[in-house]
């Protein structure tokens, strides 16, 4: 209710501030008997953790996850899974200058106005550090989805005005290999190089830049999603929009679909016999794998747009809480572009949505 | 849980199929003592109802709402408000041809696959007729928001590739007057004419076209929205994406913000003294009135992208439920472009989100 | 959230006031493909309806239920089931004397104090008339449970100080036959006669009397209930305590169990071979079929205590809303004892709880 | 949804197993700006902790609570409050004998049957150790309620067949002093001595005994509770029934009220002028401070019945998971009677319910 839980049946609640003792997450509703691979959880966190390359923040966090409950002898027991990630490298003094001053386009002013009392250190609860808890729980959701054969793959499809060409979505594992071979996490190597160059030059200017992440979900069974309000793409959209810095979401044909005609946009069914696996595949996929809010078995595709990081290393005029002029300049350690680290977050949130709807679909029919 | 409820404190649950007895909605959580203007509710429904102009479907529904509970002597009692809208002009036989055949890019196949038993008449539950119930409840949400001084205004900002120029958002009531003076509901009269012409010509071809709706929320108090998951824009996004045919949502700088740099995107605070009302206004509003998921008092702005209507009056190859070839052609009465009628739906869903968060914000502080 | 919904997966929301247009209920989450027997629903409502015998209120309501959505060709579609029951025999003028006066031990004062505006006619929302909507939805829950082989049986086990002897719970269908053969709905015929005599004499005095209902749930599968908060008996308890006039709930050994020792209270397992069906039956059943909040396959047994109806046909001193002395006397048509009609409500609420947990149990394991 | 959360607006989620790393709780929805007194939280935990006297289990746990988030500079920030209590004195080998054998009247069999995989050590999740997390969060709820002037007081009103006389409820703080002066936590000193003697002798026999706790809530504002399902007493009932070993709940006149007549049970309003504080007080309080599910400003009174602890130090015949004969005997450290330690749990759960409804009542009126 207060906004820190997500999902209905596979329900996560995150907690923790950027410079507090620890951040963490409870998963309530993970089915019992799921084997949990701790190394996999850690490897997912490593993709999001700070300090992993020259184009990410230099804050050093090992982001080592500790499981407190819900797993016994390597398998889930059906009871709440609690995980914590201690904060190690807080430099709260980096933030003393913003105890009273509001950073432009940050959440300092709105948190203060809403709650009347905030932990300003490192942005407190509004810091993207919270997303590490999402990745930890998303990793367990992925393990659940793996049992159902569902695969999720995201990559950086644009940085600033540099766009990746459309990918041939042949093999997600091959794309993953390419993506992880470069520090910007774009699955097209040539574009990746341009993106890295751009981010690096912007970083040197003390500036930041936005970008987009594209995601595909493959082998999703037909039937996931609960109309009329909890349509699969509506829940995916909310999940993505809840990630720090996200300003837009579309799926399938997306925004460009609004410029099309019905006769070109409709996805005709593949005539029987033309494929061997699934007679209800479609010839095109402008629907993005979802029709009427329910998955149709085709690839689910969506895009997520991130604004540029608000903390820049340049001096900015601002106000303090009394409305007096104040000047703020980024002193902490920050990302010049958030998308390379956000790939893991996008995948995690997608996994949370899918795990939830996969369970929900179990109670649909008699 | 099964997907037919929306909101936490101002909670609506809709029911009904396109060709059933009636559609309707329960609002649980509307505060007591709110004066309810029935004519206003009806006038909102009239903006969404079919048959209102040559560019909408010719189905004739008066969409007369009947209140069954929750209002006594003209004011809410704090108990559930039940409203029903009888279905009057069903022509179910128009749909007998799709009892077994799946219409391309409709929800026929996915509903059948998910539930195993569906009311195929007029699309059943997947029909946009359900949105009349949203508009009825949205009207009550608007009456609540009016008490708080909050205004909501949406209009058709694009049809196909025709875009409206950016509006001067001076007076929402003036814009409303302009919008309602044309049948496509665009607040720029010159663009409206082009849009109407386009839709009309497409209609004659038996085809359909997509479009976009832009919305602004004004006078929203600072503090609405509940991070980390129920950010105000995340709930707005889910609300919009849950509307039939919506494929995309962005707010503030939106998708184009992902191409910008932090130094240009950051919204600097207005120096004190430069305005009289609110010292924490910002010079620009790329944040779209929301920072860290919480309203900051500036105009909240967002866009919603609609795909073209799937039902076209042209013959299309398809499949029946056994996978055999079938041919479908729109026989019912359908919209060539959904956006003129969807303006009322977008405003209603925005009102439901705002009413919910306005109440939620009451329990934030001691 | 506002208190008019019950259940998580099989979720009902009721609406309506005693003297409004209609009362009704939405079920969101009933699985698709359930055959719905309308006559059965009506027969359940008939057990609760007023005017059925000399010991119930003489208000005449046919309580005819009308289904608006969610059922097509006799089977559920998985979409919300809306049912309404029109109010027919309101005599609102019977209540004009309490528009401003508060009846002792009624909800007049508290509703007024809480909401500031109430429909006083017939008690408005606080009237037990609302429970007809529970019975309508409970009937559908029973149809669902019948598919799972689960049976529910309740009867009047005490009226005032007259207690029914413990029943031999051999065959629930035989007990049902006995129960329905007398107007007080006690499954022990001799006790039934005494109870009827008592109620009738109290009725003639213009007074009322309390009573208790006992309930057994048979053939419940092992595993229903969700610790730690949603224990099966905790949800049953809440369900029962939410019924008008209920002041107490216990299960299994109940209150008397608190006087026992562990060595006598523990339910020893039946040694293997001593029964053929289920090796984990227990010798005794002080646990009432629930251990650790989860059903263990034994009969689930509980009791519900009802206070005497507050409306008596005698003159009572009271206060009006300004605190001035006022005299109130029951003028409407009321029950001298609520338990005979409440048997159907107790069974319905039990069915709602069981249907919900039966669905919930589907998502427990991988 | 999976059962480990309680409350709507003041929402707690507990986690942890008896012999795992730690147990803990997240509070999501505690308003910001509440001063948090850590010593008070610890003192509440001390009332529940094991090893506090000769009549409780000898397991040694300091039950030291550690706050991970949500509190900054001594005050709540409105973000989730995470608290953990490490497990210190696990002796898991005490439980190796029940890895495969099911203890009578415990949750061993039902957890195994439901989840298929369980942490058997010390009862795992079904252990009453989980209630320490409830007490930690209940302490914060109490601090919130203190701001509203609401007081909660519970004491042991019976052990086995020894009943405490009705208390003069004059001053709760004086009663508290008396209660804390004896190890059984009965507010009547003479009865306390008899109770202690009884428990001690039963303990020596290796047996256990049940008991009852009575609770009063004072200075509750008029208006708390949300009919029709979330009546204040229904939520209190569920809260109490969710505590380990509870088999019954009643409020106000309770079970004995079912034997009364309306003319004696009705609570007449106190004529104006006869008291100075509140003109709508009642002469009697059979309603137990709640009418129509809403608090009426009078003392809220209820009783909770606990069965005898299932673990006895005597040999009992049982079965293993394959249905073979097995013998179990309590080897761990257990309570001969649970009620002295459960007083803190009852008060905590009452505080959670009241805090939740106190917040919910803020959104009732326009």
Distance, in Å, from the CA atom of C75 to the CA atom of B118, rounded to the nearest integer, reads 9
Q: In terms of Cα–Cα distance, which of B357, B302, B355, B340 is closest to B138?
A: B355
Q: CA nearest A291 in B: which residue? A: B107
Interface contact D32, partner B, CB < 8 A: yes
Interface contact D223, partner A, CB < 8 A: no
Cβ of D76 within 8 Å of Cβ of A24? The answer is no
| Whether pLDDT at C92 is above 70 | no
Cβ of C258 within 8 Å of Cβ of D226? The answer is no
Residue that is written with structure tokens 């060539």 in the block: B336
- Shortest Cα distance, chain C CAs vs residue B134, angstroms: 15
Interface contact B34, partner D, CB < 8 A: yes
- Give the mean pLDDT of B170-175: 92
Confidence of residue B271 (pLDDT cuts 50, 70, 90): confident
Interface contact C223, partner D, CB < 8 A: yes
Q: Residue A47: what pLDDT?
A: 95
Contact A196, A162 (CB under 8 A): no
- Give the mean pLDDT of B13-27: 97
Query: Which of C15, C28, C76 shows the shortest C-beta gap to B82?
Result: C15
Q: Residue B64: what pLDDT?
A: 93
CA-to-CA separations, B263 to A205, A296, A316, D289, in angstroms, rounded: 10, 43, 9, 61
Query: Which of C32, C33, C363 shows the shortest C-beta gap to A362?
Result: C363
Answer yes or no: is C244 a known binding residue. Answer: yes
Q: Name the CATH superfamily housing domain A5-252+287-363.
A: Chorismate synthase AroC (3.60.150.10)
Answer yes or no: is D309 a known binding residue. Answer: yes
Give the CA diameter of chain D: 72
Burial code (b: 16+ CB inside 10 Å, e: under 16) for D271-309 equals eeeeeeeebbebeebbbbbbbbbbbbbbbbbbbbbbbbb
CA-to-CA separations, C29 to A225, B1, D153, D300, D319, in angstroms, rounded: 13, 7, 40, 35, 38
Can you read off the two tokens belonging to residue A216? 């595909």
Contact D179, D237 (CB under 8 A): no
Interface contact B307, partner A, CB < 8 A: yes
Query: Which of A1, A31, A365 shows the shortest C-beta gap to C363?
Result: A31
Answer yes or no: is D124 a known binding residue. Answer: no
Q: Residue D328: what pLDDT?
A: 85
Query: Which of D107, D110, D309 shows the shortest C-beta gap to C262?
Result: D309
CA-to-CA separations, C45 to C30, C65, C139, C322, D229, in angstroms, rounded: 19, 8, 8, 39, 20
- Report DSSP state, residue D15: E
Domain ranges within chain B, ordered by starting residue:
5-252+287-363
Residues 193-222 of C with CB under 8 A from D: 202, 207-212, 222
Can you read off the two tokens belonging to residue A350? 């997608």
Q: Residue A325: what pLDDT?
A: 87
Pairing of strands B11-15, B22-28: antiparallel
Answer yes or no: is D48 a known binding residue. Answer: yes
Pairing of strands B101-102, B246-251: unpaired
- Report DSSP state, residue C250: E
Query: Which of A22, A28, A77 shows the shortest C-beta gap to D4?
Result: A28
Contacting residues of A for D80, CB less than 8 Å apart: 2, 4, 13-16
Q: Across the strands, what pairs with A21?
A: none
Contacting residues of D for A13, CB less than 8 Å apart: 13, 26, 28, 80
Distance, in Å, from the CA atom of C142 to the CA atom of C149, rounded to the nearest integer, reads 10
Distance, in Å, from the CA atom of A333 to the CA atom of D193, rounded to the nearest integer, reads 64
Cβ of D9 within 8 Å of Cβ of B33? The answer is no
Partners of chain A (3+ Cβ pairs below 8 A): B, C, D
Contacting residues of C for D228, CB less than 8 Å apart: 3-4, 14, 125, 130, 242
Contacting residues of B for D144, CB less than 8 Å apart: 366
Q: CA nearest B365 in A: which residue? A: A115
What confidence tens digit (pLDDT) does each residue in D275-318 have?
A: 555 568 999 999 999 999 999 999 999 999 999 999 998 888 88
Cβ-Cβ contacts under 8 Å between B and D: the total is 43
Contacting residues of A for C34, CB less than 8 Å apart: 366
Can you read off the two tokens belonging to residue A173? 């594992």
Cβ of A20 within 8 Å of Cβ of D76? The answer is no
- Give the mean pLDDT of C100-104: 90
| Whether pLDDT at C89 is above 80 | no
Q: Residue B98: what pLDDT?
A: 74
Partners of chain B (3+ Cβ pairs below 8 A): A, C, D
Residues 122-141 of B with CB under 8 A from A: 125-126, 130
Q: In terms of Cα–Cα distance, which of B318, B332, B299, B240 is closest to B19?
A: B332
Q: Across the strands, what pairs with D230?
A: D226
Interface contact B325, partner D, CB < 8 A: no
Confidence of residue C95 (pLDDT cuts 50, 70, 90): confident
C110: helix, strand or coil:
helix
Omega of the bond prior to C228 within 30 degrees of 0, cis? yes
Interface contact A144, partner C, CB < 8 A: yes
What confidence tens digit (pLDDT) does each residue in A217-274 have?
A: 999 999 999 999 999 999 999 999 999 999 999 999 999 999 999 999 999 998 766 6
Helices (H), A116-253: 131-147, 172-180, 189-204, 232-241
Distance, in Å, from the CA atom of D350 to the CA atom of D352, rounded to the nearest integer, reads 5
- Shortest Cα distance, chain D CAs vs residue C163, angstroms: 10
Phi, psi of A311, deg, nearest 5: -80, 110
* Backbone Cα Rg of chain C: 21
Can you read off the two tokens belonging to residue B133? 């119930």
Query: Which of D272, D295, D364 shows the shortest C-beta gap to C319?
Result: D272
Q: Residue A274: what pLDDT?
A: 61
Higher pLDDT among residues B232 and C58, named by residue: B232
Q: In terms of Cα–Cα distance, which of C7, C3, C50 is closest to C144?
A: C7
Interface contact D308, partner C, CB < 8 A: yes
Distance, in Å, from the CA atom of C77 to the CA atom of B126, rounded to the nearest integer, reads 12
Distance, in Å, from the CA atom of B5 to the CA atom of B14, rounded to the nearest integer, reads 7
Residues 81-100 of A with CB under 8 A from D: 81-82, 84
Complex confidence, ipTM? 0.97
Cβ of A249 within 8 Å of Cβ of B241? The answer is yes
Query: Which of C212, C260, C271 shows the shortest C-beta gap to D258?
Result: C212
Q: Residue D246: what pLDDT?
A: 98
Cβ of A111 within 8 Å of Cβ of B250? The answer is no
Cβ of D366 within 8 Å of Cβ of B33? The answer is yes
Q: In terms of Cα–Cα distance, which of A63, A77, A64, A62 is closest to A27?
A: A77
Residue B258 neighbours by CB under 8 Å, 6+ apart: A158, A160, A210, A211, A212, A247, A248, A305, A306, A307
C35: helix, strand or coil:
strand
Q: Point out the residues of chain A with pLDDT beneath 70.
A: 92, 94, 272-279, 331-332
Interface contact C350, partner D, CB < 8 A: no
Q: Per mean pLDDT, which range of A339-348, B178-187, D86-95, D248-257 is the poorest?
A: D86-95
Contact B214, B152 (CB under 8 A): no
- Shortest Cα distance, chain C CAs vs residue A70, angstroms: 13
Cβ of C117 within 8 Å of Cβ of B33? The answer is yes
Answer yes or no: is B134 a known binding residue. Answer: no
Distance, in Å, from the CA atom of D124 to the CA atom of D241, rounded to the nearest integer, reads 19
Return left, alpha or beta for C73; rule: phi > 0 is left, psi -120 to 50 is alpha, else beta: left
- Give the mean pLDDT of C9-37: 97
DSSP assignment string, D294-350 = EE-SSPEEEEEEEPPPS--SS-EEEEETTS-EEEE---S---S-SHHHHHHHHHHHH
Answer yes or no: is D114 a known binding residue. Answer: no
Answer yes or no: is C48 a known binding residue. Answer: yes
If residue A72 lies in a helix (H) or strand (E), which one and from where to where? strand A71-72
CB burial of residue B322 (10 Å; 0-12, 13-18, 19+): exposed
Cβ of D34 within 8 Å of Cβ of B366? The answer is yes
CA-to-CA separations, A193 to A53, C296, D290, D346, in angstroms, rounded: 14, 62, 69, 63
Query: C40-46 long-range CB contacts below 8 Å, 24 or more apart?
Result: C40/C139, C40/C142, C40/C143, C41/C65, C41/C83, C41/C136, C41/C139, C41/C140, C44/C135, C44/C136, C44/C138, C44/C139, C44/C142, C44/C344, C44/C348, C45/C85, C45/C132, C45/C135, C45/C136, C45/C139, C45/C344
Can you read off the two tokens belonging to residue B33? 């003592």
Distance, in Å, from the CA atom of D48 to the CA atom of A218, rounded to the nearest integer, reads 51
Residues recorded for chain D: 366
Q: CA nearest D1 in C: which residue? A: C8
What confidence tens digit (pLDDT) does each residue in B85-105 have?
A: 999 877 767 677 778 889 999
Contacting residues of C for B81, CB less than 8 Å apart: 15
Q: In terms of Cα–Cα distance, which of B108, B140, B125 is closest to B26?
A: B140
What confidence tens digit (pLDDT) does each residue in D249-283 have?
A: 999 999 999 999 999 999 999 876 665 555 689 99
CA-to-CA separations, B111 to B95, C26, C181, in angstroms, rounded: 16, 20, 46
Contact C215, C228 (CB under 8 A): no
- Kindly provide the residue ranges of all beta strands, DSSP E only, lying in chain C, ordered along the sequence: 5-6, 11-15, 22-28, 66-69, 71-72, 75-76, 81-86, 101-102, 151-159, 162-163, 211-218, 246-251, 290-291, 294-295, 300-306, 316-320, 325-328
Cβ of C359 within 8 Å of Cβ of A363? The answer is yes
What confidence tens digit (pLDDT) does each residue in D169-215 have?
A: 789 999 999 999 999 999 999 999 999 999 999 999 999 999 999 99
| Whether pLDDT at D59 is above 80 | no
Partners of chain D (3+ Cβ pairs below 8 A): A, B, C
Cβ of B32 within 8 Å of Cβ of D147? The answer is no
Phi, psi of D248, deg, nearest 5: -165, 155
Answer yes or no: is B54 a known binding residue. Answer: yes
Query: Which of D227, D248, D288 shows the shortest C-beta gap to C249?
Result: D248
Answer yes or no: is C263 a known binding residue. Answer: no
Q: Residue B92: what pLDDT?
A: 67
Can you read off the two tokens belonging to residue B12? 């609506």
Residue that is written with structure tokens 């007259």 in the block: C162
Higher pLDDT among residues A94 and B231, named by residue: B231
Q: Residue B46: what pLDDT?
A: 95
Q: Residue A92: what pLDDT?
A: 67
């Amino acid at each position: 209710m207060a906004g820190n839980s997500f999902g209905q049946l596979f329900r996560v609640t995150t907690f923790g501030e950027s410079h507090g003792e620890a951040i963490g997450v409870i998963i309530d509703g993970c089915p019992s008997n799921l084997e949990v691979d701790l190394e996999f959880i850690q490897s997912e966190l490593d993709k999001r953790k700070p300090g992993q390359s020259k184009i990410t923040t230099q804050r050093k966090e090992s982001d080592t996850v500790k499981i407190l409950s819900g797993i016994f002898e390597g398998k889930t027991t059906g009871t709440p899974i609690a995980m914590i990630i201690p904060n190690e490298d807080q430099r709260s003094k980096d933030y003393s200058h913003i105890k009273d001053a509001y950073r432009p386009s940050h959440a300092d002013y709105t948190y203060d106005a809403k709650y009347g009392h905030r932990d300003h250190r490192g942005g407190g609860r509004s810091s993207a550090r919270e997303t590490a808890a999402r990745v930890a729980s998303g990793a367990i959701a992925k393990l659940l989805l793996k049992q159902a054969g569902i695969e999720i793959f995201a990559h950086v499809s644009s940085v600033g005005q540099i766009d990746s060409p459309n990918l041939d979505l042949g093999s997600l594992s091959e794309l993953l290999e390419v993506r992880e071979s470069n520090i910007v996490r774009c699955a097209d190597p040539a574009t990746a190089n341009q993106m890295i160059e751009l981010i690096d030059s912007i970083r040197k200017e003390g500036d930041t830049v936005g970008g987009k992440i594209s995601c595909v979900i493959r082998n999703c069974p037909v039937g996931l999603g609960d109309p009329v309000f909890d349509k699969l793409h509506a829940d995916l959209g909310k999940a993505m929009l809840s990630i720090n810095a996200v300003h837009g979401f579309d799926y399938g044909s997306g925004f460009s679909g609004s410029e099309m005609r019905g006769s070109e946009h409709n996805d005709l069914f593949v005539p029987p016999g033309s494929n061997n696996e699934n007679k209800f595949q479609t010839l095109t996929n402008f629907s993005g794998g979802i029709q009427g809010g329910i998955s149709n078995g085709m690839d689910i595709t969506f895009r997520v747009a991130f604004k540029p990081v608000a903390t820049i290393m340049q001096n900015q005029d601002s106000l303090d809480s009394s409305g007096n002029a104040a000047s703020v300049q980024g002193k902490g350690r920050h990302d010049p572009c958030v998308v390379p680290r956000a790939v893991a977050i996008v995948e995690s949130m997608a996994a949370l949505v899918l795990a939830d709807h996969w369970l929900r679909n179990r109670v649909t029919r008699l």
